[in-house]
Amino acid sequence: MGAIVTVERLLARTPAVAVLLPLIQVYDSGCLLNIDVVARNDTAPRGLALQLDSAYSGEESTSLHITLRYPSGLVVASDTDHHCAPPCLSWFPGGVRGDAAFTLYQVPLWLFPLPPAQDFLLTVEWPWAGIEPEALWLDGAAIAEAAARSASCWPL
């Protein structure tokens, strides 16, 4: 069972779309960055759902782009997950829900292996949606502590 690191941060926002990172679910081998995209239905760009789906199909040129920069200089990016060599940041199937005013798109990213136990930089960029690069420091030590708290579903 993954342990939770609460982040509760707005990564980027336009008048139509907001990108959020409410939490990171941490396991002993990797972690799930639970990215949420919230759209105002009356102003959201046409084809928003298709653009979010493009990350899964490899059409990264128009999709949401996340980059992690570690203190060592190593860069892990969401558009290189097709290489399948660690470290990797891979789009994970999410979900969609909403009402007449807003739609929430859950677009989690799986990070393998765990990041170093030092602060590292997450950058979000999505030119198609009008989001210029925005950066946020994440606490690698908190992620390492959460990995130590994570529990196996079965005895080893």
pLDDT in tens, 23-35: 999 999 999 999 9
**Residue 59: CATH number of its domain:** 2.60.40
**pLDDT tens readout for residues 124-140:** 999 888 999 999 999 99
Domain with 111 in it: 3-149
Joined tokens for residue 143? 């992620």
Whether 50 is in a domain gets the answer yes
Give the Å distances, CA to CA, from 36 to 74, 141, 150.
25, 23, 23
Residues 37-95 have pLDDT tens digits of 998 888 877 777 677 666 555 455 667 899 999 999 999 998 776 666 789 998 877 78
Tell me whether residue 155 is in a domain.
no
Confidence (pTM): 0.88
Residue of 69, 65, 55, 81 whose CA lies nearest to 136: 69
Element (H, E) at 75: strand 75-77
Task: Give just the sign of the alpha carbon dihedral 39, 111, 29, 140.
Answer: negative
> Residue 104 falls within a domain, yes or no?
yes
Domain assignment present for residue 27? The answer is yes
Residue 38 CA to residue 151 CA, distance in Å, equals 31
Total number of domains constituting the chain = 1
> Could you tell me if residue 98 is inside a domain?
yes
- 41 is a domain residue: yes
Query: Is residue 154 a part of any domain in this protein?
Result: no
In a domain, 66, yes or no: yes
Structure tokens at 140: 């690698």
Summarised one tens digit per residue, pLDDT across range 99-115 is: 888 888 888 999 999 99
